[in-house]
């Protein structure tokens, strides 16, 4: 009877160790899956910001070509203001994307706690919204200068630029919001698992 009891204790101990080992494997697998959910939107945002930073400087020659193509028949102050706004827009876009890349580099799920990663994500969202607001102000200034020129081609350009810029800006804003939401959601899910 004592021998059976000892054998039963050993089996129970083995079973308990096996269950703990399986729980550990399940936890590791869950962490791996959730880490993938965090890394995916984070990587998407990083790649998008890098591409935008690469494209931004090429906007300058495009805008200047478009101005020459349309033929700026307006007052010198309007031309100066337009070129200044163009340089400001392209320069700001480039600097903003570099800052976004820096912001996103602070989110490190391997080193930081979930709370720290969430804090950095919220800061990124805040900076992104300020960037959108500044872009909107510059865009409105562009359109105002375009319409103040009273040049038919220039006014059409401002109108078309406003529509295209508004459409692209809205799409990008929704994309960023969805991706940031996915990142925050994955971080919260990971926090709940821990």
User: Per-residue pLDDT averaged across 145-163, rounded?
Assistant: 71
Contact 178, 19 (CB under 8 A): no
Q: What pLDDT is stored for residue 13 in this prediction?
A: 76
Q: What pLDDT is stored for residue 149 in this prediction?
A: 65
Q: What pLDDT is stored for residue 67 in this prediction?
A: 73
Whether 29 shows a pLDDT value over 60: the answer reads no
Which tokens belong to 166?
A: 């508004």
- Among residues 107, 132, 102, 134, the alpha carbon closest in space to that of 122 is found at 107
**Which class for 54: exposed (0-12), middle (13-18), buried (19 or more C-beta within 10 A)?**
exposed
Q: What pLDDT is stored for residue 194 in this prediction?
A: 53
Q: Residue written as tokens 């945002």?
A: 45
**Is 155 strand, coil or helix?**
helix
Mean pLDDT of the chain: 79
């Amino acid at each position: 009877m004592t021998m059976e009891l000892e054998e039963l204790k050993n089996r129970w101990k083995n079973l308990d160790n096996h269950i703990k080992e399986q729980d550990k494997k399940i936890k590791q697998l869950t962490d791996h899956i959730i880490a993938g959910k965090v890394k995916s939107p984070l990587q998407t945002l990083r790649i998008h910001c890098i591409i935008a930073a690469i494209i931004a400087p090429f906007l300058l020659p495009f805008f200047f070509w478009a101005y020459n193509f349309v033929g700026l028949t307006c007052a010198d102050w309007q031309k100066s203001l337009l070129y200044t706004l163009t340089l400001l827009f392209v320069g700001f876009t480039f600097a903003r994307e570099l800052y976004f890349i820096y912001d996103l580099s602070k989110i490190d799920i391997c080193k930081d706690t979930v709370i720290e990663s969430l804090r950095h994500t919220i800061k990124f969202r805040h900076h992104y919204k300020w960037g959108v607001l500044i872009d909107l102000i510059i865009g409105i200034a562009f359109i105002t200068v375009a319409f103040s020129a009273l040049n038919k081609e220039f006014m059409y350009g401002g109108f078309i630029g406003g529509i295209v810029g508004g459409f692209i800006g809205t799409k990008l804003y929704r994309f960023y919001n969805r991706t940031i939401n996915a990142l925050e959601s994955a971080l919260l899910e990971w926090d709940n698992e821990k």
